[in-house]
Amino acid sequence: MANPPSLPSCCNDHDPDALSLEQARAQALTQVGPVQGRECLMLRLALGRVLADPVIAPGPVPAHDNAAMDGYALAGADLPRQGTADLEIIGTAWAGRPFLQSIRQGQCVRIMTGAMIPSGCDTVIMQEHVEVQGRRVHVTTGHRPGENIRPAGEDIRAGQNVLEAGTLITPARLGLLASLGRVEVSVYRRLRVALFSTGDELTALGRPLAAGGIYDSNRHTLFGMLARLGVELIDMGVVRDEPRHLREAFEEGARCADVLITTGGVSVGEADFVRELLGELGRISFWKVAIKPGRPMAFGHLGQTVFMGLPGNPVSAAVTFYQIVQPALRRMMGETDVSLPPSFPVRCLSDLKKRPGRMEFQRGVLSLEDDGEWVVRATGSQGSGVLSAMSEANCFIVLDLEQGPVAAGGLVKVQPFQGLI
- pLDDT of 385: 60
Q: Is residue 54 part of a domain?
A: yes
The reply to whether 96 and 27 lie within a common domain is: no
Residue 1 domain-assigned?
no
Look at residue 261 and tell me if it is in a domain.
yes
Task: List, for residues 184-238, the tens digit of each pLDDT value.
Answer: 999 999 999 999 988 777 877 778 887 788 878 889 999 999 999 999 999 999 8
Q: Among the three residues 332, 366, 387, which one is the final residue of a domain in this structure?
A: 332
Instruction: List, for residues 39-96, the tens digit of each pLDDT value.
Output: 999 999 999 999 999 999 999 999 999 999 999 999 999 999 999 999 999 999 999 9
- For residues 7 and 289, the model is more confident at 289
Residue 12: is its pLDDT beyond 60?
no
User: Is position 156 within any domain?
Assistant: no
Q: Looking at residue 91, which CATH number applies to its domain?
A: 2.170.190.11
**Do residues 327 and 351 share a domain?**
no
Each residue of 133-176: pLDDT tens digit?
999 999 999 999 999 999 999 999 999 999 999 999 999 999 99
Per-residue pLDDT for 14 more than 50? Answer: yes
Which CATH number characterizes residue 177's domain? Answer: 3.90.105.10
Is the pLDDT at 2 greater than 80? The verdict is: no
Closest by CA to 169, choosing from 37, 50, 56, 41, is 50
pLDDT at 132: 96
pLDDT at 4: 40
On whether residue 99 sits in a domain, the answer given is yes
> Residue 268: its pLDDT value, please?
53
Taking the C-alpha atoms of residue 320 and residue 383, their distance in angstroms, rounded to an integer, is 15
Judgement on whether residues 198 and 176 belong to the same structural domain of the protein: no
β-pair type (161-163, 55-56): antiparallel
Through-space distance between the first and last CA atoms of the chain, rounded to whole angstroms: 51
Q: Do residue 124 and residue 177 come from a single domain?
A: no
Inter-residue contact 50 to 334 (CB < 8 Å)? yes
Section 321-328 average pLDDT: 96
Is residue 30 assigned to a domain? yes
pLDDT at 9: 47
Looking at the fold, whether 100 and 212 belong to one and the same domain comes out as no
Tell me how crowded residue 202 is: count the other CB atoms within 10 A of its CB. 22
With respect to residue 43, please indicate whether it lies within any of the assigned structural domains: yes
384 pLDDT exceeds 70?
no
- Please state the domain count of the chain: 4
Q: Structural domain of residue 230, as residue ranges? A: 21-37+189-332
Among 368, 265, 258, 275, which residue's Cα sits nearest to residue 316?
265
CATH code of the domain containing 401: 2.40.340.10
Same domain as 194, residue 246: yes
- pLDDT higher than 70, residue 8: no
What's the pLDDT score for residue 63?
95
Which residue, of 277, 304, 332, is where some domain finishes? 332
Q: Are residues 312 and 238 in the same domain?
A: yes
Are 43 and 72 members of one domain?
Answer: no
pLDDT at 3: 41
* 398 neighbors 414 (Cβ within 8 angstroms): yes
**Domain closes at, from 95, 125, 150:** 150
How much is the pLDDT for 391? 84
pLDDT at res. 225 = 93
Residues 54, 74, single domain; the answer is no
Q: Let me know whether 326 and 355 are in one domain.
A: no
**Bridge partner residues of 46 (DSSP):** none
Same domain membership, residue 327 and residue 206:
yes
Lowest-confidence segment of 61-65, 274-278, 280-284, 365-369 by average pLDDT: 274-278
Q: Quick one: average pLDDT of 13-35?
A: 89
- 5 belongs to a structural domain: no
> What local confidence, expressed as pLDDT, does residue 270 receive?
43
Residues 290 and 234 in one domain: yes
Reported as a pLDDT band with limits 50, 70 and 90, residue 1 is: very low
